[in-house]
Amino acid sequence: MADSGATTPTVFVLFGATGDLAKRMVLPAFYELAQEGLLPDDWALIGNGRGRKTDDEFRAHVRDALEKFGPGEGVETIDETVWSDFAERVRFAGGGFSVDDAGDLPSVVSDVTDELGGDVQLVHYIALPPSTFLDYTAALGEHGLAEGARVVYEKPFGTSQENFEKLDAAVHEVLDEKQVYRIDHFLGKENTQNLHILRFANGMVEGIWNREHVEQVQIDVPETLDIDDRAEFYDATGAVLDMLVTHLFQVAAEVAMEPPPSLGADDLQTARESVIAAFRPLDPEEVVLGQYRGYTEVEGIADDSTTDTYVAARLWVDTDRWRDVPFLLRTGKMLGTSTQRVSLVFRRPDGPVKHLPEDGAVLSFDLSGDGRVDIAMTVKEPGPGEDLGIGRMSLDLSTVSDAEPLSPYSRLILDVLDGDRSLFTRPDGLAKVWEVAAPLLNARPDVSPYEPGSMGPDEATALATPCGWLVDETS
């Protein structure tokens, strides 16, 4: 694998280092970059938390996280040689971090900076709930840790339009926009990037990527998982904030964008944010919210919680390319199957072949893992007669020559280290996202109960007519 473009000695500060997100996603991703040789020659990782840990205790925590959640994409065991070098570079700064009390962090950063030669790139990763972003940003400025630093904010960047505007203003009091990396790991997925690569690099696809040929677009991310040990975070967020206004809107923008002048960071970001400006505000009548039975029995969830664990929505994109084509967005917990799929369902052509199936021509992108591109088309069933069937073809991206995939978090952290903001969101696009979501957030439909293992409330079926949801329990 090619070396990273980042050569400056780097100090990576991970806030919330002992939390769920860090152990599941961020620490395994950072280790993956180390084992692939993609980190700078000189680097250190400093974990930060409220409690007190020795460096060795934190190293043991990191090792446990890697053993539970994997040291990297497709790698099952920890390379002891890599781990030995990795562990030596890991430190912990306890005592919390706030405007009034910086804990141990400034002194540990100072010590590590001296060890690395005194001229380092600081990268702060705030792997904490959005309610903490204001305080941690202010503390970075107060304690002299913001100048020249790159700061990664987890999603959602805000919880409402008003909250987003307040947060955005506070962040820009401390940081320049070029220092800000609002992460959305769906944009780091290999096949999310293929949504524009496959289209713009292949004329046979670009020519049919429009309302004349496409009847509907489905962006479907059902999950069999429950809320695990994220109860407090999830109950304050729900499916709409956790998935719809973050991941699914961004993927919809990838599908719907107009061709940019280039695939450079500024042009890609502008294309994505420009089409978000054409998203029609959600109509609550075209949104179904659900909550799986048993959710309120989870420890930490109130008996009367109305938090949505499921959302299905019909989104309209008011551009010449996509006007009147429904974008169907769906996600939820404890559903009958897990997948991450974007599907373009093509219109049935006028002509001599009659009685064509509604979903007889579909181009799909599986966003999970290394990614896969699937094509379904109507064909004649082999044999006597003229019966029609649906044939399917798949391209597993891991089989492409010289494929060297990275997990989404690894890819995006690598981009932060390289200073590449092309797969990160901008405030103009996020401001519009909150405008699009505002009618739903201001007039939320009641949550409908659904059985675990089903595909959600029955009310969502009508949203996907006439084709119906392509993903079901058997997918």
Evaluate whether 10-154 and 186-415+426-464 have a shared fold. Answer: no
Mark residue 142 as left, alpha or beta (left: phi above 0; alpha: psi -120 to 50; beta: remaining).
alpha
Residue 22 annotated as binding site? yes
- For residues 126 and 134, the answer to whether their CB atoms sit within 8 Å is no
pLDDT, residue 1, reads: 38
Most confident of 4-13, 86-95, 268-277, 367-376: 86-95
For the residues of 247-274, what is the DSSP string, one character each?
IIHHHHHHHHPPPPS-SSHHHHHHHHHH
Q: How confident is the model at residue 70 (pLDDT cuts 50, 70, 90)?
A: confident
- State what percent of residues in the chain have pLDDT above 90: 64
Q: How confident is the model at residue 46 (pLDDT cuts 50, 70, 90)?
A: very high
- The predicted model scores a pTM of 0.85
| pLDDT exceeds cutoff 60 at 11 | yes
| pLDDT exceeds cutoff 90 at 178 | yes
pLDDT, residue 429, reads: 85
Q: What is the mean pLDDT of residues 344-366?
A: 84
Question: H-helix or E-strand containing 115?
Answer: helix 105-115
pLDDT, residue 72, reads: 57
Distance CA 426, CA 438 (A): 19
β-pairing verdict for 121-126 and 150-153: parallel
Residue 16 annotated as binding site? yes
Question: H-helix or E-strand containing 137?
Answer: helix 133-142
Q: How confident is the model at residue 475 (pLDDT cuts 50, 70, 90)?
A: low
Residue 385 annotated as binding site? no
Q: Per-residue pLDDT tens for 434-461?
A: 999 999 999 999 999 999 999 999 999 9
Q: Which CATH superfamily groups domain 10-154?
A: NAD(P)-binding Rossmann-like Domain (3.40.50.720)
* CATH architecture observed for domain 186-415+426-464: 2-Layer Sandwich (3.30)
Residue 21 annotated as binding site? yes
Residue 17 annotated as binding site? yes
Query: Which two three-digit tokens encode residue 134?
Result: 């204001």
Residue 20 annotated as binding site? yes
Q: What is the mean pLDDT of residues 148-167?
A: 90
Q: Domain spans of the chain?
A: 10-154, 186-415+426-464
Q: What is the mean pLDDT of residues 258-263?
A: 91
- Which of 124, 143, 247, 355 is flagged as catalytic? 247
pLDDT, residue 2, reads: 43
Residue 237 annotated as binding site? no
| pLDDT exceeds cutoff 90 at 426 | no
Q: Per-residue pLDDT tens for 91-147?
A: 999 999 999 999 999 999 999 999 998 889 999 999 998 889 999 999 999 999 999
Choice among 106-110, 329-333, 384-388 with the minimum mean pLDDT: 384-388
Distance CA 117, CA 30 (A): 22
Choice among 136-140, 192-196, 245-249, 281-285 with the minimum mean pLDDT: 192-196
Residue 166 annotated as binding site? no
pLDDT, residue 264, reads: 83
| pLDDT exceeds cutoff 80 at 73 | no
Q: What is the mean pLDDT of the chain?
A: 90
Strands (E), 51-108: 90-93
Residue 247 a catalytic site member: yes
pLDDT, residue 100, reads: 96
